Amino acid sequence: MKQILILGAGTAGTMMANHLNRLLPKGWQVTVADPENQHLYQPGLLFLPFGARDEHKIVKSRAHTLKRGVTWLQKAVETVDHEHKTVIMKDGHRETYDILIIASGSHIQPDMTPGMTEDEWYHSIFDFYSLAGARALRDKLADFQEGRLVVNVVEMPIKCPVAPLEFLFLADDYFRKQGRRDRVEIVFVTPLDAAFTKPVAAKVLGNSLLDRGIRLETEFMTGEIDPAKKQLLSYDERGIDFDLLVTVPTHTGADFVEASDIGDELAFIPTDRHTLAAREMEDVFVVGDATDLPSSKAGSVAHFQAELLTENLLRKIRGEELEPSFDGHSNCFVETGDGKAMLIDFNYNVEPVPGRFPYAFGPFSLMRESRMNHWAKLAFRPTYWHALLPGRRLPISAQMSTSGKQLEFLAAVTE
């Protein structure tokens, strides 16, 4: 038996395992290693701080998400020895492979910012990128009567780069509905030079922040936090006071990437932009947040990559050339509060622009707020569990289409 070994059974690893389980020719088997018992639907974390009580709907047992036929090793990877095509687990177990897929995602590292996880951690400093953080923040927001709420991104890249903006929009809406908005000042502190990196979207989203009275502090490289003074400090010695800090800490790839010396400075793995082959390792592929690609670290990207990588692996097994098929396609619903959302759709070459997005039960409006987009965002959770993870095809192309997009907006900013 030949073996495809997948490291990590999150969004990307689970989809890959289930696709391959169905499509691999005889003589091949799929094994996935992941130490965690539960699979978390991470987009659900955004709504917990604002009172959502549906935690049971955003976690499922791992065994439930992997199809029969896939072997699950409930083990944590310690190192990858790609020269010997062997993965060494934390318990000493060794697993060999013919093809390796690294799908170990990215995670937050609050300890990398001095002062973040000291006395004020989960008292006046919170994250919402973990279940514990989102839950603790829910209680804090319910009690927060007045003062300055600072939302901060420490450094790029982060997963779901629109999530901090969504958090701001939802916070504005939340305090408005509670009748406390006039007593809560909201400030967004970002290392970027605008609300978002892609210029057209940055303008639209930046204006949406202004309209809601949210102040924007740009090019702020967080150096440390002074928990006693409740102050965020930048490397260029600016200080921002907060009463409540909601931070998106530095992200890195998995620990074994660093330990195996196969990643970059943040433990993301050098990956071919179009085929997803690891650039410096033979018979190794990388999918989802674990790559060093300039595409978004998002579930939608993991979904498109998993479909295209499955096709490429089947080609490889048949002895054919890989297709450079991945175009950087990303598709994100952005919650804007008050039961509305925007949709952005883009790839490596075409940044998000307004327009219409053709879909089975659409069209959806791109980069404009609508209720339909909000419902689609909520409907995504059942779609994730029942269609995406099991590896069913959704009626959305893995490659970006320009149909419906108002590309003249691109000319307007590049001029």
- Which residues of this chain interact with another protein, rule CB under 8 A? 155-157, 161, 191-192, 197-198, 219, 221, 223, 235-236, 264-266, 293-297, 330
CB of 27 to another protein, least distance (A): 38
33 makes contact with ligand FAD (CB under 6 A): yes
129 makes contact with ligand FAD (CB under 6 A): yes
**Amino acid at position 56, single letter:** H
Q: Please state, in angstroms and rounded to a whole number, the distance separating the CA atoms of residues 30 and 148.
A: 50
CB of 87 to another protein, least distance (A): 25
302 makes contact with ligand FAD (CB under 6 A): yes
309 makes contact with ligand FAD (CB under 6 A): no
Residue 128 or residue 175: which is nearer to ligand FAD going by CB? 128
Q: Are 26 and 121 in contact (CB under 8 A)?
A: no
* Among 4, 5, 9, 102, interactor with ligand FAD by CB under 6 A: 9
* Among 10, 133, 337, 355, interactor with ligand FAD by CB under 6 A: 10
**DSSP, residue by residue, 289-357:** GGB--SS-BSHHHHHHHHHHHHHHHHHHHTTPPPP------EEEEEEEETTEEEEEEE-SSS---SEEE
Beta bridge pairs of residue 184 = 147
CB of 297 to ligand FAD, least distance (A): 5
Residues 67 to 86 in contact with ligand FAD, rule: CB under 6 A: 76-77
Element (H, E) at 77: strand 77-81
46 makes contact with ligand FAD (CB under 6 A): yes
Q: Taking Cα atoms as reference points, which of 28, 210, 27 lies closest to residue 17?
A: 28
Say which entry of ligand FAD, another protein, none residue 295 contacts (CB below 5 to 8 A, set by partner kind). another protein
Residue 113 or residue 310: which is nearer to another protein going by CB? 113
**DSSP, residue by residue, 169-222:** HHHHHHHHHTT-GGGEEEEEE-SSSSSSSSHHHHHHHHHHHHHTT-EEE-S--E
337 makes contact with ligand FAD (CB under 6 A): no
174 makes contact with ligand FAD (CB under 6 A): no
**DSSP, residue by residue, 236-258:** T--EEE-SEEEEE--EEE-HHHH
* Among 298, 342, 350, 376, interactor with ligand FAD by CB under 6 A: 298
Closest residue to bound ligand FAD by CB: 10
Residue 11 or residue 336: which is nearer to ligand FAD going by CB? 11
Kindly state the number of chain residues that form the binding site for ligand FAD, as judged by CB under 6 A. 37
Print the binding letters for residues 232-261 with ligand FAD: x by CB under 6 A, - otherwise.
Answer: ----------------------xxx-----
Q: Tell me whether strands 38-40 and 28-33 are parallel, antiparallel or unpaired.
A: unpaired
Can you tell me which residue has the tokens 């965690």? Answer: 36
281: region left, alpha or beta (phi > 0 left; psi from -120 to 50 alpha): beta
* Among 66, 168, 214, 332, interactor with ligand FAD by CB under 6 A: 332
CB of 54 to another protein, least distance (A): 29
Q: Tell me whether strands 86-89 and 94-96 are parallel, antiparallel or unpaired.
A: antiparallel
Q: Are 384 and 41 in contact (CB under 8 A)?
A: yes
Can you tell me which residue has the tokens 């978002």? Answer: 196
CB of 289 to another protein, least distance (A): 11
Q: Taking Cα atoms as reference points, which of 296, 362, 262 lies closest to residue 163?
A: 296
Kindly list the residues in this chain that would bind ligand FAD in the complex (CB under 6 A): 7-13, 33-36, 42-43, 45-46, 76-77, 103-105, 128-129, 159-160, 163, 254-256, 288-290, 297-300, 302, 332
